[in-house]
Structure 1
């Protein structure tokens, strides 16, 4: 090939190679972003806010916890903070005393929910970002008609509910103070989204991440000891004010569980670079709510080994009794036949 032809070919080839390189880079960036959105690692997502973080050792001087208040049945130990013991009719609350001024944030909670119940247990636990902290009530230990955000870790399905999912179940509710959380319906008519999650009674450490970023609320969980957060659900168009208080609560009723908190870590996130509106005076709101749903009963719990053993024993005894009765009846019939023959 002479110099002229090579020069023309090179001029045509270079733009093609450049376009291919841009396409490949864009594809890799999209794949990387999609993978990041699918799950998060346990690496710190931003700046940890010390005044909104709770880690061992918990206690300062006396029975106080720096930056935190607790009430109800809450008990502080060296290894965990127990909101409720595995006892009926208990309520426990744990709230940060410092309002969270960050516009966007992420809260990661290390927790454990377990108890003596194998088939029946309850009621559950909640994360709060609310205007009025540490108020006792009937919504997992905290007050109804709250103002702010509630994320509910519900372990018991109420029989009067209207839901088409199993339990344990995680859901979120954004409230401006006018909405009622309906326990009989498991909050199904006021939730913005939800997902099933086997966070109760697992052998691994349980972690939940509540991430509020660019007006998107996303809940992640790690219940398998995988050291990564898988997405539970994500909701766009959520507006939350700044200056509310974070906290957790739990409650038991006729059924019970231990509800333990090991740590709460809060991070400030850097959001979009557009104009910053004042979020201190806005009201909590969400652009969507989950539609009402028909009631579908939960699948029956699996039979325990003890119950299965006794069921087999009783079945064997029943068969033996039937055989014995049959043999007696047969012998009497034989004797009756012989008497008639003689």
Structure 2
């Protein structure tokens, strides 16, 4: 089974890291339950971008991910995930991504969008004649896409045949749990929920539909953040859900002048040289504490600005935090 996520400039972090965090964990649990019987093949997770040869920046510009394939080299996917984000506003006019979605949709078991990614599905024709939902905050600007789409405002996520559309951002986690049950079964999904300590919302009731009927508070009058910089230290095997929410919040703090510095912490022994020849600079693999049963890490290869060993960081914390340790305290 091959599960692929499309990335484009200014994709929404939680849209992808949320569902992938659920699916990767459930896949691992499902595979472990199979034991050595060899009945269940490990799921393969890949990341796809238009060109495939450069890291793709997210809605938090300093958080970028290196893709595995371009649209031209990507094999047929069993599950296609399409995120939202401000980048969808330009991608709905990008014939390359629309053609890729159409091609993949013909052979995919499931085609999934999160947040405003529904606009890409709508423009590609995948939502033609189907029920769907999208981000409630951007509702009016999103439902203009597509021709014969039955938009469902109150839904957290909508399943219509093999097409699944989720509401805004965090709804991708709820949708990911439903998708996990279809792909890996109820037992693996229930164990996943217990491990990530999450209670999903119901498919048909999105409280944010009601919330966004009222004007939101003007953020210009909000207090200034008490910090100026957040340092995110990653190690190989970082859990996607552990950082997804933090990075998503930093996106909004960035609008108020807070910056994000991503660094890689390494063991004193050399890291595994997986695809190292392709990576320019530092990077970290995420989504699992070990390589998958098939020997493959999660596809989320996060680009880091610098790298430090654990011993260096412990011996001299200033190398980890820089001037920020003294200036801003615990960050």
Comparing both structures, which one devotes a greater share of its residues to helix?
2
Q: TM-score, normalised by structure 2?
A: 0.22
Comparing both structures, which one devotes a greater share of its residues to strand?
1
Query: Which of these two proteins has the greater Rg computed from alpha carbons?
Result: 1
Q: TM-score, normalised by structure 1?
A: 0.22
